[in-house]
Amino acid sequence: MEQQDSFREKVRKNIRNGAVLSLPYLLMNTLAAIIACYGLFANSPAVVIGAMVVAMLLGPITGVALAVVDSDMALLRKALSTLIGGIIAVMATAFVLGLIHRDIPLTNEIMARTAPNLLDLMIALAGGAAGAYATVSPRLSIAFVGVAIATALVPPLSSASILFARGEYQLGLGAFLLAFTNMVAIQFASSVVLWLTGFHQVTQTAGSALATFIKRDAVSITILVALGVILAANLHQVISKQLFETAARETLRREIESSVGSHLVEVRFETTADTTVVRAVVRGPNLPSAAQVAAVEAKLPPPPDGTVVELRIRFVQTMIINRDGPLYTDVEFGTSE
């Protein structure tokens, strides 16, 4: 028992030290932002992962978690100040790099962090729990670096600043929402793990109940519930959009390829204020008429956002020739035989 208490005090000391605002802390987060930004610009997942490992934002988040468990307001203020300082360092660095490299196109690595959903919240909760358990376990503490990879904080913050630097405020807010979701979820999951592993018993009476912990962490729980609702709605929108696009592609493929010699090459979707434009590239021997395009358009499923669907076909005339000569020369579009 005495050995266990000694280990807890050691872990508590490590967490407190990780929540201190220092020059090395700011320097490491600044370097992590630089690595993340150039990984995002280069569209390189490997480099972005390197930024996750270098970053030190998990320290103050774990400090907030311990402060909530212990009801330690001094530690809470210190950890929050350190976290905010790290966030400012990361975002300021990324904003400057975003201004310097405005000519680099937005990559998939940047855009992938602009639309968080409920799945991201679940990942952050699991990562936060794993990180806290690795911290309080003498056998698993080495896994903390691996957890840092899973619970990404610097890449979405860097993505947000890069987008803000280019005036893409809506996309930037989406990336910042992802980072904020990760922070809140990691803190809450860490608090739960610390409480379950007995850290609340060090400074609290043996009669501490679950209700006491819930009361202390009420702010995080409220924010998580709100984020859960928002991200669940985002996930529903993403799934609905994917289902619509899949159904639209299948409908187009079936209608286009039922015509002799015609082939659907590519389908793209673009949404404006009140219209979802479906752009299809079609190759075939004969050009479809406007009436035939309208007939195919009428068979497309309705977009989930309530917009009006408009089909635009880019037709590329193609002649297929075998040893007997050209095929399909006398077949009109829409003919299946």
Summarised one tens digit per residue, pLDDT across range 207-230 is 445 666 677 777 778 888 888 888
- Give the pLDDT band of residue 286 (cuts 50, 70, 90): confident
Residue 314 confidence (pLDDT) above 80: yes
Is the residue at 157 inside a domain? yes
Q: Which of 216, 232, 255 is the last residue of a domain?
A: 216
Whether residues 189 and 305 fall in one domain: no
61, 183 Cβ separation under 8 angstroms: yes
Burial 266-289 (b: 16+ CB within 10 A, else e): ebeeeeeeeebebebebbbbbebe
- Give the pLDDT band of residue 195 (cuts 50, 70, 90): confident
In three-state secondary structure terms, 295 is: helix
Between 178 and 273, the more confident residue is: 178
- Give the pLDDT band of residue 172 (cuts 50, 70, 90): very high
**Which domain CATH number covers 260?**
3.30.300
Residue 145 confidence (pLDDT) above 80: no
Is the residue at 304 inside a domain? yes
Least confident of 73-77, 311-315, 332-336: 332-336
Whether residues 60 and 146 fall in one domain: yes
Whether residues 211 and 261 fall in one domain: no
d(CA 295, CA 299): 7
Query: H-type helices in the chain, by residue range?
Result: 2-18, 23-41, 45-54, 58-70, 73-100, 108-111, 118-136, 144-150, 154-165, 169-196, 200-203, 210-216, 218-257, 290-298
Confidence (pLDDT) at 48? 86
Confidence (pLDDT) at 206? 44
Confidence (pLDDT) at 203? 43
Mean pLDDT of 104-120: 90
Count of structural domains, the chain:
2
Is the residue at 222 inside a domain? no
Mean pLDDT of 131-141: 71
Is the residue at 187 inside a domain? yes
Confidence (pLDDT) at 213? 67
Neighbours of 211 (CB within 10 A): 8
Q: Name the E strands within 171-323.
A: 263-271, 275-284, 308-317, 321-322
Confidence (pLDDT) at 127? 80
307, 271 Cβ separation under 8 angstroms: yes
Which tokens is 139 given? 């056998």
231, 121 Cβ separation under 8 angstroms: yes
Whether residues 258 and 182 fall in one domain: no
Mean pLDDT of 102-123: 89
Mean pLDDT of 131-146: 65
In three-state secondary structure terms, 227 is: helix
Place of tokens 């100040």: 81
d(CA 138, CA 162): 39
Confidence (pLDDT) at 260? 83
User: pTM for this structure?
Assistant: 0.76
Q: Among positive and negative, which fits the CA dihedral 304, 242, 300, 297?
A: positive
Best CA proximity match to 74, nearest among 85, 83, 63: 63
In three-state secondary structure terms, 112 is: coil
Residue 121 confidence (pLDDT) above 50: yes
Residue 89 confidence (pLDDT) above 70: yes
Whether residues 167 and 252 fall in one domain: no
Which tokens is 131 given? 């990180």
Whether residues 115 and 190 fall in one domain: yes
Q: DSSP assignment, residue 142?
A: G
Confidence (pLDDT) at 321? 82
Is the residue at 51 inside a domain? yes
Q: Which of 181, 216, 251 is the last residue of a domain?
A: 216
Whether residues 16 and 142 fall in one domain: yes
CB contact set of 274 (below 8 Å; sequence gap of 6+):
307, 308
Best CA proximity match to 93, nearest among 17, 42, 185, 165: 165
Confidence (pLDDT) at 205? 45
Amino acid in the structure at residue 213:
F
Measure Cα distances from 36 to 12, 166, 236, 261 in Å: 30, 17, 29, 48
Residue 330 confidence (pLDDT) above 70: no
Element (H, E) at 326: strand 325-326
Q: Which of 216, 251, 284 is the last residue of a domain?
A: 216
**Which domain CATH number covers 155?**
1.20.1080
Is the residue at 90 inside a domain? yes
Whether residues 47 and 115 fall in one domain: yes
Is the residue at 235 inside a domain? no
d(CA 322, CA 107): 43
Whether residues 204 and 256 fall in one domain: no
Whether residues 110 and 212 fall in one domain: yes
Q: DSSP assignment, residue 104?
A: S
Residue 193 confidence (pLDDT) above 60: yes
Structural domain of 170:
2-216
d(CA 286, CA 289): 9
Q: What integer best gives the mean pLDDT of the chain?
A: 84
Between 202 and 168, the more confident residue is: 168
Whether residues 201 and 74 fall in one domain: yes
In three-state secondary structure terms, 102 is: coil
Mean pLDDT of 68-85: 89
Residue 335 confidence (pLDDT) above 80: no
Amino acid in the structure at residue 287:
L
User: What are the residues facing 249 on neighbouring strands?
Assistant: none
Which tokens is 6 given? 């000694």
Confidence (pLDDT) at 215? 73
Least confident of 8-12, 15-19, 64-68, 238-242: 8-12
Q: How far is CA 114 from the centre of its chain?
A: 6
Whether residues 160 and 306 fall in one domain: no
